[in-house]
Chains A and B, each alone.
Chain A
Amino acid sequence: MNPFDIRSALLAKHAQHVVLIHFPIALFITGVAFDLVATWTRRRGLADAAYYNLLIAAISTVPVIATGLLAWQFALEGQRLKGILLLHLVMALVSTVTIWVVWWLHRRVRKDRAQRPGFLIPLELLGVAAIALTGHLGGFLSGVNAPG
């Protein structure tokens, strides 16, 4: 397997999609945790930390989605998905949209002085659940549980 071949980069055991996916997962969950504590303690510094974690989480979804779609094209030539693969794709899109919406709502509160919506924390928790399910399915698909 040529290490400089784009197929190798996308599909090898250390495939880029599998590597990059850890960033939005970790950043979003950390951002939500900071936001919960900031809401509880009303500490501005924690709210800032939450905002920037959510911002970078949202930005990092771009290469993750791109590499995931490229892996789909290269590995399966874009053929129609079903089963776990389809569920992984759908949940990935749901998670991505949720991450961006959560960040956008935080931005409105910070920049536009908008009132913090009451559904924000439930939405954040829903996002964490969606990400957890997407990652769980992705882990199965990647073969991380495979022997050897």
Chain B
Amino acid sequence: MNFQMHRFVSWVVAVMLATFAAMMFAAANTQALQAAQSAQTPAAVEVKIDNFSFAPVEISVSAGTTVTWTNRDDIPHTVVSTDKVFKSKVLDTDDKYSYTFTKPGTYPYFCSVHPKMTGTVVVK
């Protein structure tokens, strides 16, 4: 291999390494950005109402999370905090109710039409 050819191959390898390094840096940056964004905006959590029960019955979320209850039942239900922190209107089938939990604590709730239906949101 003459000197010209050797120099050309060296340049190609150098460019490939630089491209690979740039891609790795970009990927790492994207992951870090996504992690930072998810830390700033907590994911929304959904609780399904069906068959006269809340599912999941107990959820644990971080402060600032918005919990959305969706009535998948054929029967109207409500979502009412035992401590009167939040209260929905009557939710017909496919109606939704959302509440954003800003303070840590335990929030038990029930359906005021069917008080046997209960659930809990634990905010950390």
Contact = CB atoms under 8 A, between A and B. Distances in A.
Interface of A: 1, 11-13, 74-76, 79, 81-85, 140-143, 146-147
B52 A143 contact: yes
B51 A1 contact: no
A75 B112 contact: yes
25 contacts: A1-B115, A11-B112, A11-B115, A13-B116, A75-B78, A75-B112, A75-B113, A76-B78, A76-B90, A76-B113, A79-B89, A79-B90, A81-B90, A83-B90, A83-B92, A83-B93, A85-B76, A140-B74, A141-B113, A143-B114, A143-B116, A143-B117, A146-B114, A147-B51, A147-B53
A51 B114 CA distance: 37
Size bracket of the B interface: 10 to 19
Interface in B72-121: 74-76, 78, 89-90, 92-93, 112-117
Nearest to B91: A83
A79 B74 CA distance: 20
B75 A84 contact: yes
A147 B52 contact: yes
Contact of B52 (A11, A75, A146): A146
The 10 closest A-B pairs by CB, nearest first: A146-B52, A75-B112, A143-B114, A83-B92, A143-B52, A75-B113, A11-B115, A85-B76, A83-B76, A140-B75
A85 B90 contact: yes
A25 to B, nearest CB: 20
Nearest to A84: B76
A125 B53 CA distance: 37
Contacts of B113: 75-76, 141, 143
B88 to A, nearest CB: 10
Interface string B43-85: 0000000011100000000000000000000111010000000
Contact of A76 (B112, B116, B117): B112
B69 to A, nearest CB: 16
B19 to A, nearest CB: 60
A11 B116 CA distance: 10
B51 A146 contact: yes
Nearest to B115: A11
Given A83-B76, A141-B75, A146 B90 contact: no
B116 A146 contact: yes
Contacts of A146: 51-52, 114, 116
A146 B75 CA distance: 10
